[in-house]
Structure 1
Amino acid sequence: MDGEGRPPRKEGNVKNIRFLTTSLYVFGFLDLFAVALIIPVASRQATNLGASPAAVGLVGTIYGTLQLISAPLVGRWSDVGGRRLTLLLCLFFTSVGYVLMGLSNSIVYYLLARVPLGIFKHSVSITRAYLAEITPKSERARVFGYFNGISSIGFIIGPLIGGHLAEMDNGFYKVSLITSALFALWFVFVLLFMTEPEHRGLPNTKSVQDFTADEFGSKFHSSLHTFKEIIRSGPELFFIRFLQGFSATLFRSNFTLMLEQKFDSTPIITGRIISFGSLASALCAIGVGRLVKIYRNLPRLYFHACTLRIFAIVLIIFAPSIPSFLVCYFLLSMGNSVARVCSTNLSIERGKVEDTGALLGLNQSVMSVCRTVSPLIAGVSQEVTSEGPAILSVILSIGTAGLVATSVLEERKISDKEKKL
């Protein structure tokens, strides 16, 4: 028996699992690569169909709302009906959704094409759950590290290729068709080569929860309880996370539309900028851990990261050219990476140990709500000025920095009291 009560695996099963694991690495990459193909041109296509920035934001909000509602339902169905069947359904309707997007000739049809994507685009989450089913507890950290790393490469390469394809005749249609074909290819692979995991009813151990609970689970009751605890112990923990998340998602919302309005960016240039941002975020994330160790004072580092974010976004607003924009964008990526780590660690340190899981779940819920609401607000602000989302992001970042500064002052007071004692 292994750590979760499973019988030892036979050599044939081990080879089959290795084949499936390697294949899921590849298709995890292709999934994000396919989605990233269409990112540089999705908002542009909506505007070509006559949508205003506010309408583009509304499409994003409707999509985010559908994702938020459908995630726990699809996750529950995968528990009951099986990972393989659920993955097949998601891949099929995702493929159909992208074909419909490519064929849309009005903003209404474009919005309707996004509906199946909003409901069924959960293939990466189901893949992670499937991996948790077939991977022993001792190997999960390594397997998921590889999966996340390989998948993220797709988000770096995809925008580059998508931007170039979009410059061709009927570019959006071709990009949509290729995206659909990639999901159809994955559908055929699952149909022919993947079976339901042998050990259904996976024990609900902590290692399983670490890798699957945050994918689909609706943690309303535990989040509500934790929210009450946060309000009692210090409401700034919640509001810091909310303001930071809202600021980040507002800036990213309608991002491609902002580039087109500000710099008259083509799909090729937009794709390169998005790829640069993804690469910058990955590089900054690698060095955050070492920076935290060097700095030692977490609240102060958090305050400096928030200040860097404000400085970077202000420079972005006034950036006169794309090269200067990229320099500022890198600084923003650095500030975002450090702020995310500091926010999570500070929440864990200030909260109760037994509430850590629920606290992280609440943070994820906050980000989900921010991602759902921010596209519409960004779109409305963009009706006033192309820098509208960035200006709102600066305002929220200033609020975040103010609350973090309060935490720094409290930290100093506690330190002074300890020295006196």
Structure 2
Amino acid sequence: MDIRSRRPLSEVSAPRVELEVTAEGTTLSESDKRRRIWTIYFIGFIDLFGVSMMIPFFPRIAANVGASLTAAGLIGSLYGALQVVSSPVIGKLSDVYGRRNLLLLCYLAPCVGYFMMSRADSVLLLVLSRILPGILKHGQSISKAYLTDITSDKDRRSVLGLFNALSSLGFIFGPLLSGYLADIDPSLKLSILFGSVVFGSNLFIVLFFLPPLKTRYSSSDHSQEKLFSLRSIIDSLNIFKGLHVREMFDILLVRFLLVFAVIMFRSNFPVLLDKHFHSDGSTLGKVLSFNGIISAISAATCGYLSSFYSNPITQVTHFSILLAISLILSTISTSILLLVLCLVPMALATANLRICMLSLLLQRGRENERGAIIGVGAAMASLSRMIAPGIVGVAQEYGSEVVGYLCAGLTLVAVTILIGCFRSREIVSKDKTDKDR
């Protein structure tokens, strides 16, 4: 061996342990990719498990510190407003600083916030306990962005569908445990404290079991830790800088209308059961539990059903029509059994539309904008949750069935806009191609 051909020791670097992930997610070994995906699945489940321990009991928590029903509603609205504003910003920061770093913040915030809530003895402390999670708790969105980084376009809908399905299971088991803890401690402090521990466990899992991720359009998570600066964070507040929102406006509008329609129906659902069938709280709980189960199952089928569609627009059209029909049939149902049966196709349509619309958004955007894109989509959903209850309240003055018809109409308007916009794009693209020739 020629000694002169050897490189000096100063030029010899240690083997790199971080893996580069392309947009197609093909450079990770299958075993490593599978391990990362299932880690994200697990923290997604734990995330919604912790959330569902608090949501059903928040009015009681607020009442325990002396808050009125109006004050409790305003605190909930404050949390929603913070989510709308911060979701795109946190998503964009994850594009800059890495998914893992932002996931750590996303689970540190509710861990601290829930602990503060468990110690709150005044309305002011309760409000403060909701501010930090309202700004930083976007674990679901960042987890989806992480999954899109390590999966191919072919597998993405299947992976995201299973993520939604497993995460939804948290809404089934979380309230059960919280209810049991509420029997032990009626003040609910034990339930909320346990919720803090739940989010702390997610923080531990991300820190020790989710490896740093490096993509071809960003630095590794470890190298990004040195790049945090106030200026770059302020720049990220301008979520539209470099983000091609105009190219995605039609999809964002359609997604907003679809989410708005579904949330309106869910807000109206307890009133629909009460006025039409005079059901009690036990019946409502059973129906909602059934809906949670079929929603999880429906989300798990997204990948399989997507394999029958080469064009996602066709899939969105079909499931939007199915959603509209389900909304109308559930509104005119003459029995609880028929109403419950209508929930099955409705859950199937909702789960598939959620994944399809996200896939369309990702196709329109750039690879280095995925976090911001998912964040903007999540902000639109949060905005729908803020506005829908007020619209439902006004519509219910004219009858609960009016809400159902309105929801179906919004769904059909959404799919009409989507089809019209895509046909216009095809015509423009064809004209441009003809001119180039």
> TM-score if structure 1 supplies the norm length?
0.63
Kept after mapping to 2: 8 A contact 1:249/1:371: no
Distance 2:392 2:36 in 1: 46
Distance 1:128 1:284 in 2: 18
Alignment of 1:20-419 (within 5 A): 23-43=39-59, 45-46=61-62, 50-52=67-69, 56-78=72-94, 86-105=102-121, 108-127=124-143, 150-170=166-186, 172-189=188-205, 193=208, 197=212, 202-204=215-217, 218=239, 222-226=243-247, 240-252=254-266, 263=279, 265=281, 273-286=287-300, 290=305, 293=308, 301-302=318-319, 304-315=321-332, 326-337=340-351, 365=376, 368-379=379-390, 381-382=392-393, 391-392=402-403, 394-401=405-412, 404=415
Kept after mapping to 2: 8 A contact 1:61/1:374: no
Deviates more, 1:325-334 or 1:18-27: 18-27
State the Cα distance separating 1:129 from its structure 2 match. 5.7
Kept after mapping to 2: 8 A contact 1:309/1:335: no
Q: Given the superposition, is the C-alpha separation of residues 190 and 374 from structure 1 closer, same or farther in structure 2, using an over 3 Å criterion?
A: closer
Kept after mapping to 1: 8 A contact 2:322/2:345: no
State the Cα distance separating 1:329 from its structure 2 match. 3.5
Q: Given the superposition, is the C-alpha separation of residues 165 and 264 from structure 1 closer, same or farther in structure 2, using an over 3 Å criterion?
A: farther
Q: Given the superposition, is the C-alpha separation of residues 263 and 132 from structure 1 closer, same or farther in structure 2, using an over 3 Å criterion?
A: same
State the Cα distance separating 1:95 from its structure 2 match. 1.1
Q: Which runs of 5+ in 2 are unaligned?
A: 1-15, 23-28, 219-236, 421-437
State the Cα distance separating 1:117 from its structure 2 match. 1.0
State the Cα distance separating 1:175 from its structure 2 match. 2.0
Distance 1:390 1:171 in 2: 38
Q: Which amino acid aligns with 1:309?
A: S
Distance 2:67 2:327 in 1: 33
State the Cα distance separating 1:315 from its structure 2 match. 4.6
Distance 1:245 1:102 in 2: 32
Kept after mapping to 2: 8 A contact 1:159/1:274: no
State the Cα distance separating 1:24 from its structure 2 match. 4.8
Distance 2:418 2:99 in 1: 44
| Aligned residues: CA RMSD | 5.5
- Matched length: 376
Q: Which has the higher helix share?
A: 1
State the Cα distance separating 1:378 from its structure 2 match. 0.5
State the Cα distance separating 1:287 from its structure 2 match. 5.1
Q: Which has the larger radius of gyration?
A: 2
Q: Given the superposition, is the C-alpha separation of residues 290 and 227 from structure 1 closer, same or farther in structure 2, using an over 3 Å criterion?
A: closer
Q: Which runs of 5+ in 1 are unaligned?
A: 6-12, 206-215, 231-236, 410-421
Q: Which amino acid aligns with 2:383?
A: T
Deviates more, 1:24-33 or 1:362-371: 362-371
Kept after mapping to 1: 8 A contact 2:79/2:134: yes
Deviates more, 1:253-262 or 1:165-174: 253-262
Q: Which amino acid aligns with 2:258?
A: Q
Kept after mapping to 2: 8 A contact 1:305/1:336: no
Q: Given the superposition, is the C-alpha separation of residues 84 and 342 from structure 1 closer, same or farther in structure 2, using an over 3 Å criterion?
A: closer
Equivalent residue, structure 2, for 1:417 = none
Distance 1:81 1:379 in 2: 37
Q: Which amino acid aligns with 1:98?
A: Y
Identity %: 26
Q: Given the superposition, is the C-alpha separation of residues 87 and 222 from structure 1 closer, same or farther in structure 2, using an over 3 Å criterion?
A: closer
Distance 2:318 2:409 in 1: 15
Q: Given the superposition, is the C-alpha separation of residues 279 and 217 from structure 1 closer, same or farther in structure 2, using an over 3 Å criterion?
A: farther
Distance 2:408 2:379 in 1: 18
Distance 1:27 1:155 in 2: 14
Deviates more, 1:283-292 or 1:300-309: 283-292
Distance 2:169 2:63 in 1: 29
